Amino acid sequence: MIPKVFREVIDLGDGREISIETGKLAKQAHGSVVVQSGKCMLLCTVVSNYKQSDVDFLPLTVDYREKFAASGRYPGGFFKREARPSDGEVLTMRLVDRVLRPLFPKDYHAETQVMIQLMSHDDDVMPDAMAGLAASAAIQLSDFPFECAISEARVGRINGQFVINPSRAQLEESDIDMVIGASADSVMMVEGEMKEISEEEMVEAIKFAHEHIKKQCEAQLRLAEAFGKKEVREYEAEREDEDLKKKIHTMAYDKVYAVAKSASAKHERSASFDEIKEEIKATFSEEELADFGDLVSKYYYKAEKAAVRDLTLNEGLRLDGRKTDEIRPIWCEVDYLPSTHGSAIFTRGETQALATVTLGTSREANQIDMPSFEGEETFYLHYNFPPFSTGEARPIRGTSRREVGHGNLAQRALKGMIPADCPYTVRVVSEVLESNGSSSMATVCSGTMALMDAGVQLKKPVSGIAMGLISDGETGKYAVLSDILGDEDHLGDMDFKVTGTADGITACQMDIKVKGLSYEILVNALKQAAAGRLHILEKLTDTIAKPNADVKPHAPKMITVTIPNEYIGALIGPGGKVIQELQKATKTTIVINEDPVTEEGIVEILGTNQEGIDAVLAKIDSLTFKPEVGGTYKVKVIKMLDFGAVVEYLDAPGNETLLHVSELAWERTENVTDVVNMGDVFDVKFIGFDPRTKKDKVSRKALLPKPEGYKERPPRDDNRSGGRDNRGRDNRGRDDRNSRDRDRKRD
């Protein structure tokens, strides 16, 4: 028997709908929903253990997976099953996690898992835009202690009109691609890329998405009410001691305030804070510390946070002595690594990134194989964050989700500035060598300079900055912090990263931790970020003003040529023999692709030696050579025959044709050697194709003046009795010419 199903529908306003359904699938989970739009269906389940974990944080796992069966495809690889998550899936997990995590109680530490699966795919629906909706809807049906319903939505802009949850095809025409996460009251998360838009335009896009998110939150609440709202579970809350909290605050606040105001460096400041903490712990006995030592540490960090925030709000000062809008000292260097195709160092305060660029053919493109999208990237960026960059020693367990997310943000910041006619596949790698502040924004800056150093003709240079916000809801005071430190990242009410050119924003990432942030404050924060970006951009262009005109001598040069489809096979040769021998002889890499529209061959020639590239181009010219009727061409005799000479076009080596004896000269030619000999070079005129042999016809005599008194021979009369050459059927093959030949042989 099919159980009772509960369903809510959200109208997107343009004929499209999103439905949320529960009651049919995965009923043993603590909450489960199926979210559907078109033929796209997501199943989301949530489970949270009833026993608190022995940790001081929320062990939340958000897992998003796309099943290949959803689009009627097989997974790649030998085992033909889904394995580790792709970068695209990891990025969706991060989008959902960043909105959900702050809404659980600070003292809720039960192991919690949110699993979202793409079960059916629709080419016109991007599933990641509905993942946040699915997660929140499932939680609303559970008994989790969770603050309020949230949702996420993608916004695009096509021809000046905002579009909610656009398709991938629509995004190709859009100048905005942003995902916004919010509750009905507050925007909480923003991430996306743009084509040099203004701060005001970005805020308008956020407002547009938020209005749609409000409707999605209302639908979740209606579904939970219809299904039967569960009582929120009870859990063992953390111990609290208000008297101890006040005592620690009194002991720590002034001392922390003094250290924070001293404008010390990161390690010196950390050591001073640790010393204050140890002094406070020393006032308690071993028995007391064993009993409530964890509370001492917790309340100390609260006092530290309060002191640092108050310093900024009251005096406009920060931990390192800067004013709120001040950028740390910057130094840059390009061409640091001698063997790379491009390199640059960007250092801002205690944050440093070394970027490298590698240039290659389309063979090196990054292949994307997901159920919801197949394609390739000819520009991509990888970001590495080793433990030594923060003075730590810990094992490296592959690429972390953080590294995937930070690399994606930097890639989105830069990719719009790669020119469409760039012939290379371009890979940027950022190695973070020091970190105290935003290393992803340092990656954008070092990546910009490395690309210009490599000779990639960027449309415009891009810079990036990390910003913070500290606010006091009671007094209305707030401070926007430019170029935040690592410590400021944790104590603020908002942190956001913005990248752009001198003309507008290219990418952003925001996490807003305070409720009801006004759009006015948001615009002011973005304006301050713009000023910081332009300051940093000036430092970049002081180091390298424009892209180098050429790639480095040791970097590969790339030439792309197009050839007709019928010549692709000739260039490859049987079993690839021609192209392999050509690559070996010229020391080049040759890649041939077929244009999906025109079906022409697109030939990429990559090499460090221009002579080798020229040799490949000459071979292609030779293979595709087509003489024009009436054109004059220089040829060389390469073979002598009784009835003419075989000549080779000098402009297209390997292309041969027959120069018939009748076309050597105006006078009658008895012997070919009377006119030309082996190795002779001269001009011929292309006069068309022989209708009988279908081969080229060239003439030497057509370029020579006619002898005085020359008379044209009368045209042959093919209608004379007896047929051609006056030969009857019985005389075929036995005319006078054959008789004369036999007489010569007997002599």
Stretch (H or E) spanning 618:
helix 610-623
Residue position matching structure tokens 């000023």:
531
Strands 110-120, 60-66: parallel, antiparallel or unpaired by DSSP? parallel
Q: d(Cα 353, Cα 98) in Å, to the nearest integer?
A: 25
Which SS3 state, helix, strand or coil, does residue 155 take?
strand
Strands 379-384, 425-434: parallel, antiparallel or unpaired by DSSP? parallel
Q: d(Cα 736, Cα 418) in Å, to the nearest integer?
A: 75
User: Could you give phi then psi for residue 723, rounded to 5 degrees?
Assistant: 80, -165
Q: d(Cα 646, Cα 125) in Å, to the nearest integer?
A: 63
Mention every residue, 6+ apart, whose C-beta is less than 8 A from residue 28.
none
Residue position matching structure tokens 């081969």:
695
Closest CA to 414 of 454, 387, 375: 454
Q: d(Cα 351, Cα 652) in Å, to the nearest integer?
A: 57
Q: Are 413 and 506 in contact (CB under 8 A)?
A: yes
Q: d(Cα 66, Cα 581) in Å, to the nearest integer?
A: 43
Q: d(Cα 122, Cα 450) in Å, to the nearest integer?
A: 39
Judge residue 268's burial from the number of C-beta atoms within 10 Å of its C-beta, 0-12 exposed, 13-18 middle, 19 or more buried: exposed
Burial call 441-474: b when 16+ CB within 10 Å, e when fewer? bbbbbbbbbbbbbbbbebeebbbbbbbbbbbeee
Closest CA to 493 of 464, 520, 522, 465: 522
- Give first-to-last CA distance, the chain, whole Å: 109
Q: d(Cα 596, Cα 495) in Å, to the nearest integer?
A: 44
Q: d(Cα 5, Cα 415) in Å, to the nearest integer?
A: 45
Q: d(Cα 320, Cα 311) in Å, to the nearest integer?
A: 12
Alpha carbon 59 to its chain's center = 30
Closest CA to 183 of 213, 215, 150: 150
Count of Cβ atoms closer than 10 Å to residue 196 Cβ:
18
Residue 483 region by backbone torsions, left for phi larger than 0, else alpha for psi between -120 and 50, else beta? left
What amino acid is encoded at 288 in this protein?
E
Token digits for 400? 């972390």
Q: Are 126 and 165 in contact (CB under 8 A)?
A: yes
The answer to whether the annotation marks 489 as part of a ligand binding site is: yes
Quick one: how many helices (H) and strands (E) in the chain? Answer: 15, 29
Answer positive or negative: Cα dihedral of 375, 366, 347, 339.
negative
Q: d(Cα 217, Cα 437) in Å, to the nearest integer?
A: 34
What amino acid is encoded at 474 in this protein?
E
Token digits for 308? 């640092």
Q: d(Cα 436, Cα 490) in Å, to the nearest integer?
A: 12
Q: d(Cα 157, Cα 207) in Å, to the nearest integer?
A: 13
Which SS3 state, helix, strand or coil, does residue 694 take?
coil
Q: Are 485 and 467 in contact (CB under 8 A)?
A: no
Answer positive or negative: Cα dihedral of 210, 211, 212, 213.
positive
Q: d(Cα 693, Cα 334) in Å, to the nearest integer?
A: 63
The answer to whether the annotation marks 495 as part of a ligand binding site is: yes
The binding site consists of 489, 495
The binding site for Mg(2+) consists of 489, 495
